[in-house]
Chain A
Amino acid sequence: MSHVTSAVRTPLVTGGKTYADVTEDISKQVEGNPTREWTIAFTIAVIVLTYGTACLFWTWWEGLGVWGLNKTVGWAWDITNFVWWVGIGHAGTLISAILLLFRQKWRTAVNRAAEAMTIFAVICAASFIMMHAGRPWVAYWCLPLPNTLGSLWVNFKSPLVWDVFAISTYFTVSLVFWYMGLIPDLATIRDRAKSKVSRYIYGAFAMGWNGSAKTWARYEYMSLILAGLSTPLVLSVHTIVSFDFATSVIPGWHTTIFPPYFVAGAIFSGFAMVQNLVLIIRVVFKLEDYITVEHIESMNKVITLTGSIVGVAYLTEFFIAWYSGVEFEGYAFINRATGPYWWAYWAMMTCNVITPQLFWSRAIRRSIVWTFVLSVVVNIGMWFERFVIIVTSLHRDYLPSSWAMFHPTLFDISDYIFSFGLFFTLFLLFSKFLPVVNMAEVKTIIKSSSEKLPVSVSGVAKGERVANPTFNKNVE
């Protein structure tokens, strides 16, 4: 807040917003009745979720035989979808934690929605873990619980168990971080509430917050430590997901490059998903003054960087497969690019490595339409990346007599659709009932990064610089 921001920096909040404007613009969407667009979108999401749930129920009732898996390809869409969702779930914590440590002010407008997206994406990812285990009612077997089956513990040496710990910790800490960020804003909504019911409900979740200086000081300190904890945590999660593959002995999987490559890919796809959601939110809730082209451009820069890292990783992987001189390893990669799944490989290469490079052009980087389209393309590419890694490494087993192809069934597809229904149902609920932009944090940057200063009643506004040099004229 008291940080001095250079006058040449483009403002992050446009339209000369005051503190009261921030509250009003963001709270009103929570307070009013749902809009027609929201109701239609929510109805569709719930229908999709219902259909998906029915299919998922059948998957569990009948068994995993309803999927297209076979003896050779034992993991396919289930783990592809799991890794895809977990990857998407990386952007929120990256924005809220790593960018907090780097003092990136543009984070304040998008962190709330991005963190919500993270939490819902991790829920979707976890649903695939439950699905592919086949028997969700014994899911607690993944936990090291004392039991009556003898001294039967989980195998702590297995990356699958590490995954259980990583994902559940990540989910819990992200949820807590997000909720803590919500408390001051929930108090704002509580104090504005007109009906008794909403005052009671938002009041209960706001936990009696009153914004005293002592609480704020502790709150800021806590946020900093949570950010410090979440930073290695977010990096560890996809690292451990990559261990699921990297610690195996399957050619194409046991690659030491996997951890950084997976983490970069996760941030890449996560930011793309944030772009898609945020571009819709800013239009539907009329938040163009808070989520500006500047924010979109910043995220596109992250997408370009991580997309390039992913591209380098693909090429390195290919080179090392040849350089290692291991025939199996070399074949796994030749087969990826030229075998029966060549189309998946080239879809991945095109969507992840080639098209994001268009963002080097400033005009494309700042174009809403291009950003939206390319972000969808990125997530298609990232889905194919996981499909390529998983299925093409498995489908040509060591013995040619075991070679097989994977053909998705209706249930493979429907269970994937289920996760979209779940994700959008949760996200739409969030966007209606909670403030989609962190009001308290945006207020802290109003003075340093707003287009022009809010004119205070007392007329005193000392010590800060104004992003817009014409501001001083406006005050008079």
Chain B
Amino acid sequence: MSDAHDNGKFLVGIFDDDDVVLQAVKEVKKAGVRIHEVYSPFPIHGLDVALGHPRTRLGIAAFLFGLSGTLTALALTFYTEGFDWPMIVGGKDSYSPIVYVPVIFELTVLFCALGMVGTFLVSNGLGPTVKPLMYDLRTTDNKFAMAIDLSKNNIGEGDIEQILKKSGAAEVNVKQF
């Protein structure tokens, strides 16, 4: 997980509504508080932008994996049918790329999908043995949690709690990892 190294004291604001939490992110940031991360049961559009997360580069990875699939298929068909054992079938040249289009297409898709999903899992630190860092167990159900790392903020705990409450948090809890 991107925050697998987290250890320390967090203030967790619990929100009941996705629109409220999105608005709260802007307000809390404006008040000068550094937000660690927001956790939600479903994707909230615009939240990553509001939090200032950089745009994902997963697309680049997907393209490169797809390209490697194309090249693998080209190499495989060229080596087997054009070089290792040339064979004329159906009156076509022994190496005739056009008949390999289905194979090239399928391997491109296969490599792209598997590579991208693998990249996704690795970049988010997801895996079968990973213990989830849950700031609040209800964030996979119906609550939205805004975590604030106290060690990275100069504002006092009580002040941050006030800011969170003012921006719409239903409750504010302390979470220690």
Binding site for B on A (CB under 8 A): 1-2, 18-20, 23, 144, 151-159, 161-162, 165-166, 168-169, 172-173, 176-177, 180, 183-184, 187-188, 190-192, 203-222, 225-226, 229, 232-233, 236, 240, 243, 439-441, 443-444, 447, 456-458, 460-464
The interface residues of chain B lying within 8 Å CB-to-CB of A225 are: 58-59, 62, 112, 116
Chain A proximity of B42: nearest CB distance (Å): 4
Please state if B103 and A156 are interface contacts (CB–CB under 8 Å). Answer: yes
Known A-B contacts: A208-B132, A210-B135, A225-B59. Give 8 more (CB < 8 A).
A19-B142, A210-B133, A211-B140, A221-B56, A232-B109, A444-B43, A461-B19, A463-B19
- Expressed in whole angstroms, the Cα–Cα distance for A204 and B127 within the complex equals 8
User: Contacts of B71 on A, CB cut-off 8 Å?
Assistant: none
Once the chains bind, are A169 and B20 in contact (CB under 8 Å)?
Answer: no
- Which of chain B's residues 42-58 have a Cβ closer than 8 Å to chain A? 42-48, 51, 53, 56, 58
**Cα A18 to Cα B121 with chains together (Å):** 30
Q: Give the chain A neighbours of B90 by CB distance below 8 A.
A: 157
Which chain B residue shows the least CB distance to A22?
B142
B105 to chain A, nearest CB (A): 6
Residue of A nearest to B79 (CB): A153
Which of A23, A166, A203, A220 meets B43, CB within 8 Å?
A220
Residues of A contacting B132 with CB < 8 Å?
Answer: 187, 190, 203, 206, 208-210
List the count of A-B residue pairs having beta carbons below 8 Å apart. Answer: 225
The one of B113, B130, B138, B168 in contact with A226, judged by C-beta atoms closer than 8 angstroms, is: B113
Q: Cβ of B19 and Cβ of A162 under 8 Å apart?
A: no
Q: Do the beta carbons of B89 and A157 come within 8 Å of each other?
A: yes
Known: A23-B141, A157-B89, A191-B137. A207 touches B41 (CB 8 A): no
A155 near B41 (CB under 8 angstroms)?
no
A345 to B20 Cα, complex, angstroms: 60
A224 to B143 CA separation, bound complex (whole angstroms): 25
Option from B2, B102, B134, B138 in Cβ contact (under 8 Å) with A162: B102
Which label, helix, strand, loop or mixed, suits the secondary structure of the A interface? helix
| A residues near B1, Cβ cutoff 8 Å | 208, 210, 212
Q: How far is the CB of A114 from chain B (nearest CB, A)?
A: 19
Report the bound CA distance from A154 to B112 in whole Å. 23
Contacts A221-B58, A222-B120; is A19 near B141 (CB within 8 Å)? Answer: yes
Q: Say if the beta carbon of B177 comes within 8 Å of chain A.
A: no
Cβ distance B120 to chain A, nearest Cβ, rounded Å:
5
Inter-chain CA distance A32–B133, complex, in Å, is 27
Contact yes or no, B131 A208, CB < 8 A: yes
Residue in contact with B102 in the complex, picked from A18, A165, A205, A441, CB distance below 8 Å: A165
CB-based nearest B residue for A440: B42
Q: Which residue of B lies closest to A206 (CB)?
A: B132
> Contacts A155-B87, A192-B141, A458-B17: A211 and B53 contacting too (C-beta < 8 A)?
no
Cβ-closest chain B residue relative to A150: B85
Q: Is B31 an interface residue (CB 8 A)?
A: no
Give which listed residue, B53, B81, B102, contacts A153 with CB less than 8 A: B81
Say whether A155 contacts B117, CB under 8 Å. Answer: no
How many of chain B's residues touch chain A, expressed as a range?
35 or more
Q: How far is the CB of B116 from chain A (nearest CB, A)?
A: 6
Pick the 6 closest A-B CB pairs, nearest first: A208-B130, A19-B142, A217-B48, A151-B85, A162-B102, A153-B80
The reply to whether A207 and B126 contact each other, CB–CB distance below 8 Å, is: yes
Query: Contact check: which of B20, B42, B76 meets A444 at CB < 8 Å?
Result: B42
- Is there an interface contact between A210 and B134, defined as CB atoms closer than 8 Å? yes
Contact of B168 among A184, A190, A215, A458 (CB under 8 A): A458
Question: A204-B128, A211-B39, A458-B168 in contact; A156/B99 too (CB < 8 A)?
Answer: yes
A352 shortest CB reach to chain B, Å? 27
Known: A1-B18, A213-B48. A191 touches B141 (CB 8 A): yes
Chain B 4-51 residues near chain A, CB threshold 8 A? 15-20, 23, 37-48, 51
Residue on A nearest B50 in the bound complex, by CB: A213
Contacting pair B43 A218 (CB below 8 A): no
Cα distance A183–B132 in the bound complex, in angstroms = 12
Q: Which residues of B (98-152) have their CB < 8 Å from a CB of A?
A: 99-100, 102-103, 105-107, 109-110, 112-114, 116-117, 120-121, 123-135, 137-142
Task: Determine whether the beta carbon of A20 is less than 8 Å from that of B125.
Answer: no
Chain A residue numbers with a CB within 8 Å of B134 are 191, 210
Report the separation of the CA atoms of residues A460 and B19 in the bound assembly, to the nearest whole angstrom: 8
B59 in contact with A162 (CB, 8 Å): no
B17 to A461, Cβ gap below 8 A? yes
Minimum C-beta distance from B103 to chain A (A): 5
Please tell me if the beta carbons of B39 and A184 are within 8 angstroms of each other in the complex: no
Pair B102/A221 contact, Cβ less than 8 Å: no
